[in-house]
Amino acid sequence: MTDKRKRLTVYLHPEDDSQDARAMDIIESVPLRTRGEFFRAAIVGGSALYQLDKRLPYLLAMLFDGQLTADHLVGIIQQTTGWQPTTASIQEVIAACAGQVTAAPAIPEQSARTEGEEQARNNFRRMLNKD
């Protein structure tokens, strides 16, 4: 039987990148005995997002500000892939029954870019230019 395991080395630069610093904070909150499984789950999860749309892992990394919600994640997936949920919220059902038209949910826009967002955008551009 051959060993097809793969060892990966990743460098984070928390002093240069706010997303890396936030990731380090989360990593340090994971107990040492389960960090390996956490890293594996993060890589597999990122791969699943990549399979849906190659831009998703990069967008999530770029937009990672510590405030990500499930609604934001769904909105990013909808806007990136064009996917529409197969279920509706109760508010949409009530509005449809009442004959009202509701707007599609969108990610709230920030009025001003923060320094971290600008850094994330620059990192994303650098990643795209490497290809």
Q: What pLDDT, in 10s, does the model give residues 43-95?
A: 999 999 999 999 999 999 988 888 888 888 888 888 888 887 777 677 777 77
What size, in residues, is the chain? 131
Residue 87 backbone phi and psi in degrees, to 5:
-120, 155
Residue recorded with tokens 């955008």: 121
111 pLDDT more than 50 = no
124 pLDDT more than 70 = no
119 pLDDT more than 60 = yes
Distance between CA 43 and CA 45 in Å, rounded?
Answer: 5
Domain ranges of the chain: 18-130
Distance between CA 54 and CA 67 in Å, rounded?
Answer: 23
Distance between CA 5 and CA 27 in Å, rounded?
Answer: 22
Most confident of 26-30, 72-76, 112-116: 26-30
Give the CA distances from residue 8 to residues 5, 36, 43, 73, in Å, rounded to whole numbers and listed in that order. 10, 11, 10, 27
**pLDDT, averaged across the chain:** 81
